[in-house]
Structure 1
Amino acid sequence: MKADPEAQRRLLDLQAIDTTLAQLAHKRRTLPEHAELDELARQLSALTDERARAQVAVDDIDRDIARLEKDIDQVRARKDKDQARLDTGRGPARELEALQHEMASLKRRQTELEDAELEFMEQRETAQATLDEIEARQATAREKREAAEARRDQALADIAKEEEFKSTSRQPLASDLPADLIALYDKVREASGGLGAALLKAGRCGGCRLELSGSERARIKAAPADEVVRCDECRRIMVRTAESGL
């Protein structure tokens, strides 16, 4: 393929832009905030499960306390009723004596229920503290997520801005170069990991970094200036300049 030497040299400018665009794309994919957000998502998911279990524990204790309070209220009501009957002093002595025995039994039962309620209230305090601690960790993780999202969004915006600038610079440059040269460059770039053209410097290919053999150096030196030459090793386009050492 033939191409004006100046057009070949301008391939290096195009390659520089394409390399920057590839680096920006890689930077977008590998932003540290992506990994950070993934880890925070895992943490928040685990905390959601942990909080659900802690809430169930609190709710279970609340139901036990409510049940005991209902039982205590019933005992108190029965005890108040019996006390009222005793206070009247009316009725057979045997019935009044039975009421006194029942009153003593109700007092013991009330004490047992109140002791059990106190124990449950202590358990609830511990369970609530556990729930509060989990919710505090959730809040901290959410704050970290918001901060990471803000950093990610800013980084993506900066990348997009630079990509737009580079793409805008690329378009007129590519349009001014011969279509067949651009087609070859794009084909080689796609097959060679993004590097389609490289400077031949001091007898070394800028693509694969290998030094040219004597025969290859002689071949390239003998090639006309407008001949598009390619590396025998990596097949990239080698752009010749005064630095090529031929």
Structure 2
Amino acid sequence: MNAAPADQIRLLDLQALDTRLGQLAHKRKSLPEHAELQALEADLTQHRDLLVAAQTEESDTAREQTKAEQDVDQVRQRAVRDQQRLDSGAGMSPKDLENLQHEVASLAKRQGDLEDVVLEIMERRESAQERVTELTGRVASVQAKVDDATARRDAALGEIDAEAASVAKERELVAGSVPADLLGLYDKLRVKEGGVGAARLFQRRCEGCRQELAITELNEVRAAAADKVVRCENCSRILVRTSESGL
């Protein structure tokens, strides 16, 4: 393939732009905020799960407390009724009065036991409420960190994307000035050779593979016409000759 030396040199400009686009794409994927957000979101999910569990426990103990308080109230009301009957003694035999006294005493003990149960439940509910408050604060704290990291990531992505758009536009202009056949070869090699399709020959060394040309290859390059598109024997990339090639 033949191409004007100026067109070949433009490949170096094109390569520099493609290299920058590759760097920006890598930078976009490897922003530290990505890993930070992944860790924070895992932490947030864990704390939210713990919060839901604590809220469920608090809700369950609240229902348990209501039921226990209702049991106490029922025993208390029954004890009041029995005490009123005992105090009046109307139409009751001594045996009935004795049985009623035993029942009142039994109800008093039952009420005391149930009130102890209510206190125990209230303590558990208070503990659950404290846990809910603590975890609510933790969730809010982690969420704030997530929001901050998200804002920093989005700002960084915005800068990267803006630069990438500018570089892509410049690449389009440069690519448009390169002959189609030369551009096609360059693009094919760029895909095949890890993003580098053309490299400068600098001081007898290919800057694509960093290998110095063998003497026979160097002589062939020296003998090649200025418009001949030469390739590196080591990496197959297009070798672009300049005044600094050492020929």
- Post-superposition CA distance 1:56-103 (Å, at most 9, x none): 322332222122101100011111112222333423333333322222
- Post-superposition CA distance 1:5-28 (Å, at most 9, x none): 111111111111111111111111
2: CA distance, partners of 1:52 / 1:176 = 62
| 1:75 aligns to 2:75 (yes or no) | yes
Name 2:87's counterpart in structure 1.
87
* Post-superposition offset of 1:42: 2.1
2: CA distance, partners of 1:5 / 1:217 = 18
- How many residue pairs get aligned? The number is 246
Name 1:237's counterpart in structure 2.
238
Secondary structure (helix, strand or coil) at the match of 2:2 reads coil
The unaligned stretches of length 5 or more in structure 1 are none
Tell me the amino acid that sits aligned with residue 191 of structure 1: K
* Post-superposition offset of 1:46: 2.4
* Post-superposition offset of 1:169: 1.1
- Greater mean alpha carbon deviation, residues 168-177 or residues 197-206: 168-177
- Greater mean alpha carbon deviation, residues 126-135 or residues 186-195: 126-135
1: CA distance, partners of 2:146 / 2:91 = 75
Report runs of 4+ in structure 1 exceeding 4 Å deviation.
Answer: none
2: CA distance, partners of 1:214 / 1:44 = 63
Tell me the amino acid that sits aligned with residue 14 of structure 2: L
Name 2:6's counterpart in structure 1.
6
1: CA distance, partners of 2:80 / 2:235 = 100
Normalising by structure 1, report the TM-score: 0.94
Name 1:132's counterpart in structure 2.
133
Secondary structure (helix, strand or coil) at the match of 1:18 reads helix
Name 1:170's counterpart in structure 2.
171
2: CA distance, partners of 1:137 / 1:201 = 59
Name 2:121's counterpart in structure 1.
120
* Post-superposition offset of 1:38: 2.0
2: CA distance, partners of 1:75 / 1:44 = 46
Tell me the amino acid that sits aligned with residue 223 of structure 2: A
1:91-110 pair list within 5 angstroms: 91-92=91-92, 93-110=94-111
Name 1:219's counterpart in structure 2.
220
Secondary structure (helix, strand or coil) at the match of 2:194 reads coil
* Post-superposition offset of 1:245: 0.8
Normalising by structure 2, report the TM-score: 0.94
RMSD of aligned alpha carbons: 1.5
| 1:66 aligns to 2:66 (yes or no) | yes
2: CA distance, partners of 1:124 / 1:38 = 34
The unaligned stretches of length 5 or more in structure 2 are none
